[in-house]
Amino acid sequence: MNPTKIDAIYALVGGAITQKVDGEIVFHDGQTPPTEEAIQAKLSELQADYDSKKYQRDRKLEYPSIQELVVALYDEEDKQAIIEKRNAVKAKYPKPE
């Protein structure tokens, strides 16, 4: 899920914060609210990090399930099939350089 403004604020100040229905941010641990400029800069940084990991999210959707991996522990043919499936997914969604 794309990072939100509340994610950026939390990354900047930490501690307990909540957002009211009307959008107001409440700081529960006495944090100093960050400037809008700092929030937008952090949001851009978080978005860039999120975008750079798209290949990880794509791979996760196609990797073998936990059940398939458990079966492969006991069956050599299944194990080879799992290895081939993982390699195909990695080739389809290569890690950016």
Which pLDDT score, from 0 to 100, does residue 63 have?
A: 93
Q: How confident is the model at residue 26, as a pLDDT?
A: 94
Residue-wise over 18-36: b if at least 16 C-beta within 10 A, else e? eeeeeeebeeeeebeebee
Give me the pLDDT at residue 48, please: 97
Tokens (6 digits) for 26 = 């409440």
pTM of the entire structure? 0.74
pLDDT per position as a tens digit, 6-28? 999 999 999 999 999 999 999 99
Q: What is the pLDDT of residues 38-86, one digit of tens each?
A: 999 999 999 999 999 999 999 999 999 999 888 888 888 888 888 999 9
